[in-house]
């Protein structure tokens, strides 16, 4: 009966009934919320050990008002019923470990692979609770580090361009002459070029539109360091794109690491250090090419469900309705 929660706002719209009253009636009478066996601790933790599989994901998400919860899901369920293994308040490793260890050890030892992000707390949780599983750092978190470093360099150049333009305008004003901005062949000023290049730097060259190709050409002519940094991000993307084995990927990543060192870019050296720290877990991706996409998709479903309810007032009841669909 409770497989899919009632959306009282939809019924209110189509059948002209009191949505709030129906919602209360569902909560108090139509559903089995009042006798729910996890109701007492629902806002702190929820466990569904029967949903554990060999391949799982662990991630964090905001359930309401920016409050973070750690969520463990089973990849095999593909974001549908039976995917939810645990929802635990907070991201503290000690707190999450304490709850997950309520699951019998022999059940937790069934897990063979866990995908996660680079947070040390997540690594500690997986190492402690799923000791027989290999840990796989999600590829998109690694690529995002490189893209963030590239965008940091672009933004630094943009601030320089803004300051130069401001100074040039001030000089023109003092000399009582008309300010004439320098325009590139596509009509952009330096400030506009750097602002409008943001999105093209996220994409591979073959996905650029004609106007983006022209803009990229001008950008790299004016800022050769951005071309070099873009090349680093693109070569990292290509390491992941190739259907290669772990040992080959190890060599490719080592060469990329050396290129970062030769570039001398401070922002890239920082992320190279982070990658070095998680080297083996990053390379574990090339065993089964597993990602945390299912966890990210589940997070999106939580946000959509929250939006459909116009926010979360009663966190326990919200989680009850969520588990009816996904646990």
| 175 within domain boundaries | yes
Q: What is the pTM of this model?
A: 0.80
Predicted confidence at residue 64, as pLDDT, reads 72
Q: Is the dihedral of CA 191, 206, 274, 298 positive or negative?
A: positive
Q: What percent of the chain has pLDDT over 90?
A: 57
Helix axes 120-129 and 93-100, enclosed angle (nearest 10): 20
Across 36-50, 83-97, 206-220, 304-318, least confident range: 304-318
Burial annotation 100-133 (CB, 10 A radius, 16+ → b, else e): beebeeeebeebebbbbbbeebbbebbeebbeeb
**Which residue range(s) make up the domain with 169?**
139-288
| 284 within domain boundaries | yes
**Model confidence at 291: pLDDT above 90:** no
Predicted confidence at residue 21, as pLDDT, reads 54
Closest CA to 147 of 229, 239, 241: 229
Beta carbons of 95 and 89 less than 8 angstroms apart: yes
Residue 164 and residue 96 share a domain: no
Closest CA to 113 of 51, 55, 49, 52: 55
Average pLDDT over residues 14-26: 52
Q: What's the pLDDT tens digit per position in 43-70?
A: 899 999 999 999 999 998 887 777 889 9
The CATH number for 78's domain is 3.30.420.10
**Model confidence at 3: pLDDT above 90:** no
Residue 235 and residue 127 share a domain: no
Residue 148 and residue 278 share a domain: yes
Average pLDDT over residues 256-283: 89
Residue 147 and residue 106 share a domain: no
Q: 14: alpha, beta or left, given left = phi > 0 and alpha = psi -120 to 50?
A: alpha
Predicted confidence at residue 303, as pLDDT, reads 79
| 10 within domain boundaries | no
Residue 116 and residue 44 share a domain: yes
Q: 203: alpha, beta or left, given left = phi > 0 and alpha = psi -120 to 50?
A: beta
Beta carbons of 184 and 218 less than 8 angstroms apart: yes
Distance CA 253, CA 236 (A): 8
Residue 281 and residue 145 share a domain: yes
Better-scored residue on pLDDT, 1 or 43: 43
**Model confidence at 183: pLDDT above 60:** yes
Residue 230 — very low, low, confident or very high, per pLDDT cuts 50/70/90?
A: very high
**Model confidence at 184: pLDDT above 70:** yes
Residue 173 and residue 93 share a domain: no
Average pLDDT over residues 277-302: 86
Domain count, the chain: 2
Distance CA 33, CA 198 (A): 48
Contacts of 286 (CB under 8 A, 6+ apart): 244, 245, 246, 248, 249
Better-scored residue on pLDDT, 66 or 181: 181
Six-digit token pair at 313? 């007032």
Residue 239 and residue 144 share a domain: yes
Mean pLDDT of all residues belonging to the chain: 86
| Cα three-residue angle 293-115-62, rounded to 5 degrees | 60
Better-scored residue on pLDDT, 223 or 63: 223
| 116 within domain boundaries | yes
Predicted confidence at residue 18, as pLDDT, reads 46
Residue 206 and residue 92 share a domain: no
Better-scored residue on pLDDT, 161 or 314: 161
């Amino acid at each position: 009966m409770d497989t899919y929660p009632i959306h009282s706002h939809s019924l209110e719209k189509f059948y002209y009934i009191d949505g709030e009253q129906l919602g209360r009636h569902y909560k108090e009478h139509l559903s089995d919320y009042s006798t729910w066996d996890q109701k007492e601790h629902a806002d702190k933790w929820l466990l569904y050990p029967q949903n554990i599989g060999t391949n799982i994901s662990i991630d964090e998400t905001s359930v309401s008002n920016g409050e973070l919860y750690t969520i463990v899901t089973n990849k095999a369920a593909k974001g549908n019923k039976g995917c939810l293994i645990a929802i635990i308040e907070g991201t503290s490793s000690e707190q999450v470990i304490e709850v997950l260890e309520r699951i019998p050890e022999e059940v937790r030892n069934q897990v063979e692979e866990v995908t996660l992000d680079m947070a040390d707390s997540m690594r500690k949780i997986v190492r402690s609770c799923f000791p027989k599983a290999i840990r796989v750092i999600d590829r998109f978190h690694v690529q995002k580090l490189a893209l963030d470093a590239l965008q940091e360099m672009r933004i630094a150049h943009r601030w320089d361009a803004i300051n130069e333009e401001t100074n040039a305008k001030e000089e023109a004003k003092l000399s009582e002459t008309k300010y004439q901005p320098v325009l590139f062949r596509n009509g952009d000023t330096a400030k506009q070029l750097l602002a409008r290049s943001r999105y093209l730097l996220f994409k591979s060259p073959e996905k650029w539109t004609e106007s983006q190709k022209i803009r990229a050409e001008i950008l790299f002519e004016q800022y050769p360091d951005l071309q070099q940094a873009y090349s680093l991000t693109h070569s990292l993307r290509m390491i992941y794109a190739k259907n290669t084995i772990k040992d080959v990927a190890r060599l490719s990543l080592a060469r990329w690491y050396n290129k970062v060192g030769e570039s001398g870019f401070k922002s890239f050296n920082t992320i190279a250090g982070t990658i070095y720290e998680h080297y083996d877990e990053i390379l574990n991706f090339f065993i089964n090419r597993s990602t945390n996409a299912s966890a990210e998709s589940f997070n999106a479903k939580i946000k959509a469900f929250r939006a459909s309810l116009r926010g979360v007032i009663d966190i326990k009841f919200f989680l009850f309705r969520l588990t009816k669909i996904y646990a």
